[in-house]
Amino acid sequence: MYKNLVRPILFLFDPEKVHYFTFSLIKFLYSIPGGPFIFKTLFQVNDKRLERELFGLTFKNPVGLAAGLDKDGVLVNEMDALGFGFIEIGTLTPEPQPGNDKPRLFRLKSDKALINRMGFNNGGVKAGAERLRKRHPGILVGGNIGKNKWTANEEAYKDYEKCFEALYDCVDYFVVNVSSPNTPGLRALQEKGPLKEILNKLMIKSSSQSKPKSILLKIAPDLTEGQLDDIIEIVQETKIGGVIATNTTISRAGLLETTASLEKIGAGGLSGKPLLKQSTFVVKYLSEKSNKSFPIIAVGGIFSPEDAIEKLEAGAALVHLYTGFIYEGPTLIKAINKEILKRAR
């Protein structure tokens, strides 16, 4: 019903306006008497065989919501009811920021893709933390953190520390985002020097806590093999928990969308089906080259159960959905979990 009836109507309107309208609609449907029960009945798959033990946590299933969709953590309870095994919120920054000028979100329907240049629009880490403290118990949440646009790269580690401290008691793991293409200069933080500084400082903060929490690194799909080798070295040296592969791409190779249309859209990160092969390559490369020495959460181009299985077979421990969830709807989560159970027999 979603793909044949709901999506065609939603796709008639501005993508960002539809995003907020859909959020309001989901929240309303969940709030009516019996709403949570209906959500769980329609979309959840509960089976012990789906559970995964990682980062000292028990994930009820390996299908999570990627960061970027629910930046401020306003739909954590609702997304849990839709069947996600875990939810990643953010990217959150120390201070609220409006993000880049609109329009900044675009559909590429023929490519089953999105281009966004949102620019870390969020209400700030303190507001996000307060919201997360009110979520239902038992929901695993990852905190994706970044720097404010106006913070110089030399001072970036301070922003990550501020977010880390503010979120520490209300998330289950952290994700350092240095790979978004929509904040000027951010990707330069993926270089060995600045990246190790950020990760080492956060690891010191985490290890000083009575219950240390895992720190993951989200990387771009556009890194060279040499840069991926550096990532493996950095993960092993800093002893962070793992990697999320991958963020959006700045590449426009192989798209069906016309050159004129792409030029009109302009800059931004591409997500969706065109990212499938490259993100899987990155997952496989990291897994094999590191001898599976750290967990990988795979994200990029997952539109079917087969796409998710491909990521898991490439070496991922968990998967994230974003654009596929928008195009395919919430039944995708259930379909992936059912396929995993089918193959577990």
Report how far residue 300's alpha carbon sits from residue 238's, in angstroms, rounded to the nearest whole number. Answer: 26
- Distance CA(154)–CA(218), nearest Å, equals 20
Tell me the one-letter amino acid at 230: D
Q: Is 180 annotated as catalytic?
A: yes
Q: Which of 180, 206, 287, 290 is catalytic?
A: 180
The amino acid occupying position 22 is T
| Cα–Cα distance list, 129 to 58, 93, 121, 228 (Å) | 22, 11, 16, 32
CA 184 to chain centre: 20
Cα 323 from Cα 300, distance rounded (Å): 8
For the record, the structure tokens of 143 come out as: 């905190």
Nearest-angstrom CA–CA distance, 216 and 67: 13
Residue 45 backbone phi and psi in degrees, to 5: -125, 115
Tokens, residue 210: 């009575």
Burial class (CB in 10 A: 0-12, 13-18, 19+), 96: middle
Residues recognised as catalytic:
180
